[in-house]
Amino acid sequence: MASAPPNPSLSEILGEQIVCSESLIGILESERNALVSGDVEALETVCKTKAAAAQRLFQLGEQMKIFVAAGLKGAEVEALLARHPNGSTLVEQWRHLTALATRCSEANRANGAMVEAREVQVRGALAAMQPEAPAVYGRTGINKPSLPGRVFSRA
């Protein structure tokens, strides 16, 4: 009968989170490059990779909750980590991890802004391709709503 794998230490979890966050920064850079170049296939691939990395970070965060009470923020977490054996190393890891998290968040926000801008461009192009509906007046002289124009393409 196989035994369950040993529970990782707090330092191991933080280390894995750092590695995963560093990887995510690279993935976000690849996503940005795919967005800039308009490479749809690369974008699809990188989005799958990004989703897997985000899921792994979530799992590691859940493991971290065993050690750190939920709801603690910044200095509170550092104070708690400092009380553990090898606390100064844990605090350094935590600070590095939070810096990486900030970088990931900023890169993801920038990529999201690029996606929004591209969406506005596509919607504008689609609207421009639709023919204008003719103005039609009824007996009262009021403009009646007409049927929408023919759609030549869809995104």
Residue 141, domain member (yes or no)? no
- Domain presence at residue 67: yes
Q: How far apart are CA 25 and CA 31, in angstroms?
A: 10
For 76-104, what is the mean pLDDT? Answer: 91
**Is 2 a member of any domain?**
no
pLDDT exceeds cutoff 50 at 125 = yes
The residue with greater pLDDT, 26 or 3, is 26
pLDDT, mean of residues 113-121: 91
22 part of a folded domain: yes
pLDDT reading at 87 higher than 90: no
Q: What is the pLDDT of residue 148?
A: 53
In a domain, 152, yes or no: no
In a domain, 149, yes or no: no
Instruction: Work out the average pLDDT over 77-95.
Output: 89
Quote the CA–CA distance of 90 and 15 in Å, as a whole number: 9
Q: What is the pLDDT of residue 14?
A: 93
- Alpha-carbon distance of 50 to 56, in angstroms, equals 10
Closest-CA residue to 133 (of 154, 147, 151): 147
Please give the tally of structural domains in the chain.
1
Query: Is residue 78 in some structural domain?
Result: yes
Q: Quick check: 149 pLDDT over 60?
A: no
Predicted confidence (pLDDT) per residue in 34-70, tens digit: 999 999 999 999 999 999 999 999 999 888 887 776 6
Task: Identify the pLDDT of residue 67.
Answer: 76
- Residue 81: helix, strand or coil by DSSP? helix
Tokens of 75: 């200095």
Residue 86 per-residue DSSP state: T
How confident is the model at residue 1, as a pLDDT? 46
- The DSSP code sequence of 106-117 is HHHHHHHHHHHH
pTM of the complete model beyond 0.75: no
Q: Residue 26: which CATH number?
A: 1.20.58.300
For 82, the domain range is 10-129
